[in-house]
Structure 1
Amino acid sequence: MNSPKIAIIGLGYVGLPLAVAFAEKYRVIGFDIDQHRVQALKKGTDHTLEVPEAKLLEALQENSSAGLKLTADPEAMREATIFIVTVPTPTDKNRKPVLTPLIEASESIGKLLKDGDIVIYESTVYPGVTEEICVPVLELHSGKTFNKDFFAGYSPERINPGDKLHTVTSILKVTSGSTPEIAKKIDALYASVITAGTHLASSIKVAEAAKVIENSQRDINIAFVNELSKIFRLLDIDTSAVLEAAATKWNFTKYTPGLVGGHCIGVDPYYLAQKALEVGYNPEIILSGRRMNDGMGKYVANEVIKLMLNKEAKVKNGKALVLGITFKENCPDTRNTKAIDVIRELETYNMQVDVCDPWADKAEVKTLFGIDLLTCSEIHSTYDSIVLAVSHQEFLQLDISALKNDKAVVFDVKSFLPTTIIDGRL
């Protein structure tokens, strides 16, 4: 542990910033199965926009004791003594956890393990995955014995995509290890680069559970205000005004209604729910919150249609503009975006839907959704409805009035636009 060589498996929104942070003090091998991703990173290009080009290129300047080496070849990780896994853990179409990337990463690492090596998982999982699923895979492919020949740990990621304030080193890190001694070593390793400090959990399962409830709690809170928004719209009360008034009480926690997507909040509750169901408990509140938030895209679209009918705007064969397709503002991440639910529901009314997003990658959106994305400068039409789905700062520069047909409806999901130009909001 005095001079560890670290391998980071998965160079996405989580793995790349972590690799760059560790590379300031240690020799780091960054591995990703996507060769195009690796080649782009070697040139200093990070499409996630999490690491600036200058900082990435600086990290790639290796020396004898520090620096980042990028590769798509698993064999290049053989000299590593610490392996940190940051691969995605999505759900399938039935909302069931998909652990395939985690298992495949464990298989690759297992073939490289040496005596004394440590494998740390950062991917979001339900309690028990590290020791009950990943470790047996490591043992099988290494032929070695857990907690004798090699060790494990879990330190959940807390990256917030697009957030330039709460970066990887400025977010307190939860750590854990498979033995008390290893736990202290893992904690010391992270503490050496995480300026915000660390919290050593009492066990791997405690650390796994802590991560999965962080986003589940936020999901439930947003589901609550989404339900409030539905109620207050029926009562013709401004939800934003209600929340502003309620927030004047010292112990009121203010959340805002909206579309809840992304790789964390929109996914993590299903991991906890799956484990609860396996042990015979039906997690009513968690799943109820998820149902509420999963249905908000369809709800928004239907509210837009109601407003259009009230204004006698053209619905069938009409034109709609949806502003934003990423899962959150000022970020290129489209994973598990709920803006697509708004788009698809509007299309069921035989509307032609254009989508504008200055942050999303055009090729990625075309591949994932079959949508030809527009930038702000490429909007040359007028529309029967305009839906602000994501609050990108660039949308404040749009002349919304010039984009409207005579009876057009403007709906603001994020309470972002001036109230004088909108017809409805959550």
Structure 2
Amino acid sequence: MKTNKKIAVIGLGYVGMPLAVTFAKNFDVIGFDIDKNKISSYQKNIDPTGEIGEEGLKDTTVKFTSNVDDLKEANFYIITVPTPIKQDNTPNLAPIESATTMVAEHMNKGDYIVYESTVYPGVTEDICVPLIEKISGLASPNDFKVGYSPERINPGDKKNTVENIVKIVSGIDDEALEEIASVYGRVIKVGTHKASSIKVAESAKVVENSQRDINIAFMNELSQVFNLMGINTFEVIEAMNTKWNSLGFYPGLVGGHCIGVDPYYFIYQAENLGYHSQIISAGRKINNQMSQFIINNVIKELMKYNKSSNSNVVIAGLTFKENTPDFRNSKVMNMISELNEFGIRPKIIDPYVKSYKGELEADIIGFEDIEEPIDVLLYAVNHKEFRETEDAKFINLLNNDRAIIVDLKNRFKQYESDVIKYWSI
């Protein structure tokens, strides 16, 4: 049963598009994005994100559009645009302000606007609401309602989908909270959590990812120390995880658009209030240095074997996480940059990335394109396709004279030998 709510989802990336398709099962939905090429792809049932797929797009009733005038048809707006950071790691609110402006220019009295984009506490009420009021001439909360419901999408995860993740909801007042909870409750199978205020909901999002960032940073720091001690970090974690209250975090690269970005929003607002974040800032520093730490060890091993820039370096995985085609903000890109500094142009195998055009020197290839023996195999992303590939397919490509495995996922330890040098974080 569809209701009188007509929903417009603004921003159709890895968050907005699955959300729009999910809502369309119970509501009339407009899916809006300023990227005309993206909209054209969706209209042709082409899903570059891989989150919904061709069949999912064929079945959905979402009206995909890049025509801003179509927003006039809606009365419940959900903004899911990116909230990136600037070069100095301060929040870049331009996308959310632009989306807010578009909505304010086309909304009507009585409409609802819900933000899902990650922000620091206070952005919705202190920045977005005044902007809406200025442009629309309406006043909140009497003329329109706002709310915040942090996105919890996990790209590439087919189990924890929109419908199966508890949704935090909040509103500008009690009436807004109940209505927003009711709308989301129609599509979220596992239910909603009503936050006491918008600021609490905003805080929950940045804290979720800051907590993970700090825990991974702790493991990354341990891995650097254990490297000096000659101890395998994964073996330590395996032993530690036998205790019931071990948290199960592992060292690794922290990229993407959430864990590597959201902590900066918290740090920024804390600084505005006169507090210098120590733990969160330290975690960001450690995680940002991991790419350099890894490649420095690669170069040291190459130098031991008198190998140089003509070495055949193959990186398995380019994306920021497994089972997704998204390599924006991937720390693998940082490792490529570090290799380029030493005159090395690596080859990349990744089943989710078909081509790469950018400033960095790297070549996207397939297994079948590897003709020369591999001097360095850098196993970076544990894609499902890689996990289903027999170890021998990787090992047989290594240089029989001398090869190095740099293993970020603890897969190939058993192949260490007089010929194969094994190194892991």
1:134 is paired with a residue whose SS is: helix
TM alignment of 1:257-276, pairs within 5 A: 257-276=251-270
2-structure distance, mates of 1:253, 1:303: 28
The answer to whether residue 377 in structure 2 is matched with residue 382 in structure 1 is no
Q: Is the 8 A contact 2:413 2:422 kept in 1?
A: no
- Which residue, out of 343, 363, 368, partners 2:336? 343
Q: CA deviation at 1:168?
A: 0.6
Relative distance call for 1:32 and 1:367 in structure 2 (3 A) is farther
The answer to whether residue 76 in structure 2 is matched with residue 78 in structure 1 is no
1:373 is paired with a residue whose SS is: strand
The answer to whether residue 209 in structure 2 is matched with residue 215 in structure 1 is yes
Q: Partner residue of 1:120? A: 114
- Which residue, out of 156, 172, 181, partners 2:175? 181
TM alignment of 1:77-116, pairs within 5 A: 77-116=71-110
- Which residue, out of 248, 260, 276, partners 1:282? 276
**Does 18-27 or 335-344 show the bigger shift?**
335-344
1-structure distance, mates of 2:248, 2:354: 32
Query: How many correspondences in the alignment?
Result: 416
Q: Is the 8 A contact 1:22 1:193 kept in 2?
A: yes
2-structure distance, mates of 1:330, 1:2: 35
**Does 343-352 or 129-138 show the bigger shift?**
343-352
Percent sequence identity is 46
2-structure distance, mates of 1:349, 1:239: 27
Q: Partner residue of 2:8? A: 7
1:294-324 Cα distance to aligned partner (Å, 9 max, x none): 01001000111122223x1412333311221
1:250-298 Cα distance to aligned partner (Å, 9 max, x none): 1111111110101000100001000000100000100100000001001
Letter of the 2:352 counterpart: W
Relative distance call for 1:372 and 1:306 in structure 2 (3 A) is closer
Q: Partner residue of 2:422? A: 423
The answer to whether residue 47 in structure 2 is matched with residue 46 in structure 1 is yes
Letter of the 2:200 counterpart: V
Q: Is the 8 A contact 2:345 2:361 kept in 1?
A: no
- Which residue, out of 391, 396, 402, partners 2:397? 402
Letter of the 2:224 counterpart: K
2:302 is paired with a residue whose SS is: helix
1:25 is paired with a residue whose SS is: coil
2-structure distance, mates of 1:35, 1:370: 29
1-structure distance, mates of 2:325, 2:364: 13
TM alignment of 1:17-416, pairs within 5 A: 17-59=18-60, 67-310=61-304, 312-362=305-355, 365-367=356-358, 369=360, 371-395=362-386, 396-397=389-390, 398-404=393-399, 406-416=401-411
2-structure distance, mates of 1:307, 1:133: 51
1:22-79 Cα distance to aligned partner (Å, 9 max, x none): 10011000001111111111111111100022122111xxxxxxx3111000101101
1-structure distance, mates of 2:71, 2:353: 32
Q: CA deviation at 1:126?
A: 0.4
**Does 397-406 or 166-175 show the bigger shift?**
397-406
Q: Partner residue of 1:64? A: none
Relative distance call for 1:405 and 1:346 in structure 2 (3 A) is farther
Q: Is the 8 A contact 1:391 1:416 kept in 2?
A: no
What are the ranges of 5 or more consecutive residues in structure 1 without an aligned counterpart?
60-66
1-structure distance, mates of 2:190, 2:331: 32
1:8 is paired with a residue whose SS is: strand
What are the ranges of 5 or more consecutive residues in structure 2 without an aligned counterpart?
none
Q: Is the 8 A contact 1:308 1:408 kept in 2?
A: no
2-structure distance, mates of 1:139, 1:375: 53
Q: Is the 8 A contact 2:309 2:342 kept in 1?
A: yes
Q: Is the 8 A contact 2:312 2:372 kept in 1?
A: no
1-structure distance, mates of 2:88, 2:414: 39
Q: Is the 8 A contact 1:172 1:197 kept in 2?
A: yes
Q: Is the 8 A contact 1:20 1:68 kept in 2?
A: yes
2-structure distance, mates of 1:134, 1:23: 26
1:366 is paired with a residue whose SS is: coil
Q: Is the 8 A contact 1:300 1:413 kept in 2?
A: no
